[in-house]
Amino acid sequence: MIFSVYVGPYVEATGVSQDILDKHFNLLCDGRGELSLPGVKYLVPNQALRGVIREMRFTRDLEPGVAEVTRLQHMDEMGALHNLAKPFLRDIKKGTWEIKWGVIPCMS
C-alpha cells in the first residue's frame, strides 16, 4: 500500500458519471483512490499544471514535504487547474463541481 498526499488545487465533483470521469482521465484522476466517499470525487491533475513548478505530490518515503504558496501563486494555480479541467467541466450535465485548494490524502 502506498500513501501519498497531493497539495494544491483540485475539483470536488458530486454525482458525475463514471463515463465522464473515464473520458477525461488524461486530465484529472480520483485523488483519493480507495479513500473516496461514494458519489464524491476529489479530482487532481493527471498532468502538470501550466506555469506551476513546485512539487505537489508527497509520499511517505520522502523527506517531509513543505508546500508554501503566496496568495498570487494560489490564484495562479486555481486558474491553471480551471484551464486544464475546462473540457471535463463542459461535459458535466448532471452533478455539481467546485474547484478548491487543499490537501488530498491517497492510498493505493
pLDDT tens digit string along 31-90? 776 566 778 889 999 888 888 877 777 776 666 666 678 899 999 999 999 999 999 999
Supply 58's cell numbers.
508527497
Which DSSP symbol is given to 94? S
Name the phi and psi angles at 83, rounded to 5: -65, -45
Q: Which domain holds residue 72?
A: 3-107
Number of domains within the chain: 1
Q: Is the dihedral of CA 66, 69, 28, 96 positive or negative?
A: positive
Please give the Cα distance from 95 to 93 (Å, whole number): 7
pLDDT at 76: 92
Which pTM was predicted? 0.84
Please give the Cα distance from 32 to 101 (Å, whole number): 14
pLDDT at 29: 84
